[in-house]
């Protein structure tokens, strides 16, 4: 089982749709969580951190469920410019901290 798993997609949605991504992690000692966005042939960029109480940034909402060991990202009112790959990132304490990147979920938003 991979330490961090994401649905690879692709997700194809129309403009204005709401789309949700989930990410599961295997290590219950995981400490911090992030969502990154990566455009084609570009570097990953931090989209948002994920806090225990859940957090929102405009159209984006991130949530953490420690009991079930997953994090989620909700995008409301999708824009064409949201088309990208979304990476789930988990910092795990495995007797020494390490950062694990999910393989990413591809999103296509169409007009």
Positions in the binding site for another protein (CB under 8 A):
31-32, 34, 42-46, 49, 87, 89, 91, 96-99, 101-104
CB 57 within 8 A of CB 41: no
49/65 with CB nearer another protein = 49
Whether 7 and 104 have beta carbons less than 8 Å apart is answered as no
Smallest gap from residue 18 Cβ to another protein (A):
25
Nearer to another protein, 78 or 105 (CB): 105
């Amino acid at each position: 089982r991979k330490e961090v798993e994401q649905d690879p997609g692709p997700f194809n949605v129309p403009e204005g749709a709401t789309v949700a991504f989930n990410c599961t992690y295997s290590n219950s000692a995981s400490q911090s969580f992030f969502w990154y966005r990566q455009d084609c042939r570009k570097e990953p960029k931090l989209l948002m951190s994920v806090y225990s109480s859940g957090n929102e940034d405009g159209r984006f909402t991130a949530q953490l469920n420690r009991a079930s060991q997953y994090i989620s990202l909700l995008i409301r009112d999708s824009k064409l410019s949201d088309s990208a790959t979304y990476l789930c990132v988990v910092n795990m304490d495995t007797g020494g901290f390490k950062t694990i990147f999910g393989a990413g979920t591809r999103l296509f938003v169409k007009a």
